[in-house]
Each structure stands twice: as structure tokens, then as C-alpha cells.
Amino acid sequence: MTYAASVAAMAEYRKEHGLRPSREDAEAAVRVLLEWSGDDPDREGLIDTPARVARAYEEFFEGYRIDPAELLARTFEETKGYDDLIALRNMRLESHCEHHIVPIIGKIHVAYLPGNRVVGISKLARVVEVYAKRLQIQETLTSQIADTIQDVLQPRGVAVVIEASHMCMTTRGIRKPGVSMLTRKLLGEFQTDPELRRDFLSSVTVSKEGFA
């Protein structure tokens, strides 16, 4: 059996039994990639790279271990009748493209119109982080954040706008630096009220300073 066939068989076994690869498996995979790229994983500068990459992946993709809906479970009723826009603007966004596992870097704006309850603003930021720390495409990321806020909080409306640069496009392939991608999802009153939609979108124009 070839090495590739052995790896595939082991992956199928883990899938059938609901198992995850071990840290040792992950480090061995990085070592293979280093060898495949043409370098020597035993040289001084690379000897600890497999372990470093495994630790980095734990941080990059920790969103798989967190339920974003649970982050929004604790809400507050004492709003003194406040029922207007609540928005977090210009949050830095860092994710990874699921096609090439390279960074997606940009900014995200999240807003909602409260119904009877509000949530701590840090929880909105955490929901963004949970979904961003998974392998993504920007369209899916935008929808996941908006839909989760809508489903859990049941507000009168939700708006999510993302503008980001994709390293899979700027550093490889077509190589078009300076290009950003814009996605948005509008739910509830943000869809049905043109004036509200216009006010929100005009207030979240992304800075031209870039995302680095």
C-alpha cells in the first residue's frame, strides 16, 4: 500500500468512528508538506515547525470547538425603551479561505434592531470570531453571522457587511493586490425599510487605508 493510500485509509477509519487526528498526526502531515515543498524538515530552522504549525492551527480554527448560539444566550431586558439601531463598526476580520487555507483579512460591520432584549456587544464580536476561526468563503461567513443573530436574538432586523482582501487572489493565482470583496446580508427591517438600509450602509463605509 502506498503512503497516500495508507493515509486515506486511516482518514476513512477516523471518519467512520468519529475520531479526530492526533497532534502527532497533524505534525507528521506538516513534516510531509515540508519535504514535498523541497526543504529538509530536520534542518535547524524547521525542526520545530511542525509543532508550531499545529499550535497555530489550534488558534486559527478554534471556532470549531465553540457553539456561537450559546454566546448569545444571555440577554438583557433593561433597555429603558431603546429600540433603535445597535451597530459595531470597523471590526477587524481575520479568517482563512477554505480553498487554499490562506488568510482573508478585512473589516466587518454588524448591526441589529432590538426587539425586547439586547445582548452584550462583546458577544456579537465573539460570534464573528467563532465563525471567522473556521475555514470559510466570505459569502458563507456573512450569512452565518447574520442568521445566527437573527435566529437566537429574534430582533426586528440584522445587517452584516464584510469587506475583505483574499490572499488566495492577491498573493497567488491571478495576483491582483489591492482588490477587496464586499458581501452583505440584510434581514428583517433592513430589507423592508429603504431609509433604514440606506442610513446603515452609508454609515459603514470601509476605510480606504487597507486591512494590513
Catalytic residue among 94, 98, 189, 191: 98
Is 154 a catalytic site residue?
no
Is 99 a catalytic site residue?
yes
Q: How far apart are CA 139 and CA 183, in angstroms?
A: 6
Catalytic residue among 96, 129, 163, 166: 166
Catalytic residue among 12, 99, 139, 154: 99
Is 97 a catalytic site residue?
yes
Is 138 a catalytic site residue?
yes
Q: How far apart are CA 210 and CA 116, in angstroms?
A: 37
Alpha helices in 17-154 (DSSP H): 23-37, 49-60, 68-71, 121-132, 138-153
Catalytic residue among 94, 97, 189, 191: 97
Q: How far apart are CA 69 and CA 87, in angstroms?
A: 19
Catalytic residue among 27, 129, 136, 138: 138
Q: How far apart are CA 105 and CA 141, in angstroms?
A: 13
Catalytic residue among 94, 168, 189, 191: 168
Is 98 a catalytic site residue?
yes
123-159 burial: b if 16+ Cβ within 10 Å, else e:
bbebbbbbbbbbebebeebbebbbebbbebbebbbbb
Instruction: List the catalytic residues.
Output: 97-100, 138, 166, 168
